[in-house]
A and B are shown apart, each in its own frame.
Chain A
Amino acid sequence: MFDVFSNFTTGIIPMEGYIIVSLIMFFAGVYGFLSRKSLLMILISIELILNAADINFVVFNRYLYPGQLEGFFFALFTIAISACETAVAIAIVINIYRNLNNVEVDSLNELQEPSLESEKK
């Protein structure tokens, strides 16, 4: 398994290198998603995950299917989609902030009205 690293010394970047990078990015994103308290940080983590997936697409396209272009196009697609999704997410976050005065994910664990309203009653 570890002989892949032998390629690193020859100068040509092996596919596994890119995969390892995207792996690290992906799990960093997952970790961030699971452990951050702020909604904005969770969104950033989600971006990391998406970008890691994009890297994977491009890499597989270049190394495994060199004559085709689907991977590249799909990566561009994904970037566009993620931009839209981020916009919507930010809109939601702003709404949450307006109701709760904070963007901590801990205050969002009940289906009933946000605590600020119930305190008014």
Chain B
Amino acid sequence: MEYTLLILILPLLSFTVLGLVDSKWKPQVAGTIGTAVLATVAILAYYTAYVYFTTANISGEYQKIIAFQTEWVRFTEHLHIDLGILLDPISVMMLVVISTVSLMVHIYSLSYMHGEKGFERYYAFLSLFTFSMLGLVVATNIFQMYIFWELVGVSSYLLIGFYYTKPEAVAASKKAFIVTRFADLGFLIGILILSFYTKTFDFGILTSGQESVFAGATGISFLGFSVLSWATALIFIGGAGKSAMFPLHIWLPDAMEGPTPVSALIHAATMVVAGVYLVARLFPVYYFYTPEVLHGIAYVGAFTALFAAVIACVQTDIKRVLAFSTISQIAFMMVGLGVSGMGGHHGLGYMASLFHLFTHAMFKALLFLGAGSVIHAVHSNEMSKMGGLRKYMPVTHITFLIACLAIAGIPPFSGFFSKDEILTAAFEFNPILGATMSFIAGLTAFYMFRLYYGIFWGKEHKHHHTPHESPFAMKLPLLFLALVTIFAGFIPFGEFVTNDGALYEIHLDWTIAGISVAVAVISILLATIMYRKESKIPEKLEVSFAGLHKSASKRFYIDEVYQFITKKIIFKNISTPIAWFDRHVIDATMDGFAKVTQWSSARLKGLQTGDVQDYAYTILLGALIIAGLVIFI
């Protein structure tokens, strides 16, 4: 299946060509090339998926296929970085997700970014990002994943900072990169530890289940934890950075400074799920060797989901609501992985998590693109400038509603199935965790419908010109994604993706399904009462819970902590003293050598009086001393 190499090479070529040519060609040419390339990639991805899922099934298990591999860097005799393409159920699924969402974003941007300066640059960076993300998911070894991980980070930096004359965008792109860089440090150290004890980077070997691979690490511990726990925990920290888990989530809301299609692609559907993908990829290692880390992941995920959901309830900027919603949903996926077992029904968490990844990518992209549509119409992100837009933008309205229903978990939309399976797995692991997740699901429904009503219902805001529906290029992706959202729920996911490769038919637990639907419906009703029409209830609640409301709208002050750490601690109290020390202590010492030399030279100069008698005196003295030495010693 070597043609899969084209899936990676085409976007890379597109980036190079569009990047070098930049503004020398007309913008439409760049847009067309970019979109055409992505369309080809998408078709190839679908074809690969079709071929894989129909042919790779041997005796009930999907085989891992290495479509391509070449050695790139050699470190030691055991450790070397290969670049290759690994095809297995999750990577093929991700190929489909990435290429689909990217294609939709490419088409959407033809209209949305029309007339923007830097249009060609935008498409070049989109291609770079797609290349990097595709490379990440098909990585055959952990270091290749790290390589593409970094590339994805840079693409994100370039795209968030696309409007580079805006200081907020520049600051946001820097923040995103540095926070994820910090997480990547953890990832790197985790890789170093893991690879030292297992003598390999290769995923195939790491997840093969052979005891001998991890034999080198048995019994070795550091500060009370086994080295494998350290390794997997550090690797998770890397994933937590990209997937915006608390407290490394701070970059994601600010990343909304980038163009909205970028937010749809990178910060909803693809890059942010990289952490989930990483844990899924290494799941056998987590499950068999460091289950306590896996459970830790579940709790971190649960906390993040709750934290983000609470904040989302009080945000007023559309994109920020969606950003926190993304953080919350990704945390759901992490919880799904964290509570999962291995194989058959026990592996439900794993399957559910990845199914939710798939469905969430589709409806979140839909939500973002719909938000883009709205922003395009009213020229503002703030909910206060919107209201009653359903009359003017029917397509956007209906597709947004479908996505909201999906994310709230209302059957028969896809979100119901995927979220429900996660809840089932959570309840089986720990009922309290399950109840918490259900509560969070309720919050999700609440804030999403608060957003929905705030945009499409309620009092209209006076606009400069009447808002209008979006052009065709923007409508098409919305419609396509809406269709997927409606029907994707019925995909028998267990027949494709499971953690041990064996097929499994997922059954719904009707009790839990019933509970979750009830919770969702109640939340939607609550939101309807409070937000559909003008109502005093939100203000009254705001007043009575003033403290909580204020902290939540300030995102619980975590950004202030980040600012404090960077400005006060790193800049003022570490870097400045070091720079001062270098200039005024070390350099002063070197200058001091020079000064001492000059001083002693000035003193010695005094010996040269020019007076012949002084010289004669010195000669006499010297002669006497030498004579004395010769005679007496």
In the complex, how many angstroms separate the beta carbon of B616 from the nearest chain A beta carbon? 6
A106: interface (CB < 8 Å): yes
Please name 18 pairs of A and B residues whose Cβ atoms are closer than 8 Å in the assembled complex, sorted by A.
A30-B620, A33-B613, A33-B616, A34-B613, A34-B616, A34-B620, A35-B613, A42-B613, A105-B611, A105-B612, A105-B613, A106-B611, A109-B609, A109-B610, A109-B611, A109-B612, A110-B610, A111-B610
In the complex, how many angstroms separate the beta carbon of A26 from the nearest chain B beta carbon? 11
B632: interface (CB < 8 Å): no
A20: interface (CB < 8 Å): no
Chain B contacts for A109, CB-based, 8 A: 609-612
Chain A contacts for B222, CB-based, 8 A: none
A44: interface (CB < 8 Å): no
B617: interface (CB < 8 Å): yes
Chain A contacts for B611, CB-based, 8 A: 105-106, 108-109
Q: Are B612 and A108 in contact (CB under 8 A)?
A: yes
Q: Which residue of B lies closest to A37 (CB)?
A: B613
Chain A contacts for B620, CB-based, 8 A: 30, 34
Q: Which residues of B contact A (CB under 8 A)?
A: 609-613, 616-617, 620
A30 CA / B623 CA spacing, docked (Å): 13
In the complex, how many angstroms separate the beta carbon of A57 from the nearest chain B beta carbon? 19
Q: Mark A102-118, 1 if CB is under 8 A from B, else 0.
A: 00011011110000000
Q: Is the interface of B mostly helix, strand, loop or mixed?
A: helix
Known pairs A34-B616, A106-B611 / 9 extra A-B pairs, C-beta < 8 Å: A30-B620, A34-B613, A34-B617, A34-B620, A108-B610, A108-B611, A109-B609, A109-B612, A110-B610
In the complex, how many angstroms separate the beta carbon of B223 from the nearest chain A beta carbon? 74
A104 CA / B611 CA spacing, docked (Å): 11
Chain A contacts for B610, CB-based, 8 A: 108-111
Q: Is the interface of A mostly helix, strand, loop or mixed?
A: helix
A111 CA / B620 CA spacing, docked (Å): 23
In the complex, how many angstroms separate the beta carbon of B614 from the nearest chain A beta carbon? 9
A108 CA / B611 CA spacing, docked (Å): 7
In the complex, how many angstroms separate the beta carbon of B610 from the nearest chain A beta carbon? 3
A105 CA / B611 CA spacing, docked (Å): 7
A106 CA / B613 CA spacing, docked (Å): 9
A52 CA / B330 CA spacing, docked (Å): 111
Q: Mark A79-114, 1 if CB is under 8 A from B, else 0.
A: 000000000000000000000000001101111000
In the complex, how many angstroms separate the beta carbon of B374 from the nearest chain A beta carbon? 89
Chain B contacts for A108, CB-based, 8 A: 610-612
A58 CA / B141 CA spacing, docked (Å): 105
Chain A contacts for B612, CB-based, 8 A: 105, 108-109
Chain B contacts for A42, CB-based, 8 A: 613
Q: Which of A105, A106, A109 has the most CB of B within 10 A?
A: A109
Q: Mark A18-29, 1 if CB is under 8 A from B, else 0.
A: 000000000000
Q: Which residue of A lies closest to B610 (CB)?
A: A109
Contacting residues of chain A (33-85) with chain B, CB-CB under 8 angstroms = 33-35, 42
Q: Can you list the 6 inter-chain pairs with the closest CB atoms, starting with the nearest?
A: A109-B610, A109-B611, A34-B613, A34-B617, A110-B610, A109-B609
Chain A contacts for B609, CB-based, 8 A: 109
A74 CA / B188 CA spacing, docked (Å): 94
A35 CA / B620 CA spacing, docked (Å): 13
Chain B contacts for A34, CB-based, 8 A: 613, 616-617, 620
Chain B contacts for A110, CB-based, 8 A: 610
In the complex, how many angstroms separate the beta carbon of B241 from the nearest chain A beta carbon? 74
In the complex, how many angstroms separate the beta carbon of B607 from the nearest chain A beta carbon? 12
A23 CA / B612 CA spacing, docked (Å): 23
In the complex, how many angstroms separate the beta carbon of B625 from the nearest chain A beta carbon? 15
A108 CA / B612 CA spacing, docked (Å): 8
In the complex, how many angstroms separate the beta carbon of A93 from the nearest chain B beta carbon? 13
Q: Which of A30, A34, A35, A42 has the most CB of B within 10 A?
A: A34
Q: Which of B609, B610, B613 has the most CB of A within 10 A?
A: B613
A33 CA / B620 CA spacing, docked (Å): 11
A108 CA / B614 CA spacing, docked (Å): 12
Q: Which residue of A lies closest to B620 (CB)?
A: A30
A68 CA / B10 CA spacing, docked (Å): 115
A111 CA / B611 CA spacing, docked (Å): 11
Chain B contacts for A33, CB-based, 8 A: 613, 616
In the complex, how many angstroms separate the beta carbon of A106 from the nearest chain B beta carbon? 7
A118 CA / B610 CA spacing, docked (Å): 18
A30 CA / B621 CA spacing, docked (Å): 12
Chain B contacts for A105, CB-based, 8 A: 611-613
In the complex, how many angstroms separate the beta carbon of A102 from the nearest chain B beta carbon? 15
A19 CA / B252 CA spacing, docked (Å): 106
Chain B contacts for A35, CB-based, 8 A: 613
A106 CA / B614 CA spacing, docked (Å): 11
A33 CA / B617 CA spacing, docked (Å): 9
Q: Which residue of B lies closest to A35 (CB)?
A: B613
A105 CA / B615 CA spacing, docked (Å): 13
In the complex, how many angstroms separate the beta carbon of A81 from the nearest chain B beta carbon? 20
Q: Which residue of A lies closest to B612 (CB)?
A: A105
A105 CA / B609 CA spacing, docked (Å): 12
Chain A contacts for B613, CB-based, 8 A: 33-35, 42, 105
In the complex, how many angstroms separate the beta carbon of A104 from the nearest chain B beta carbon? 11
A109 CA / B617 CA spacing, docked (Å): 15
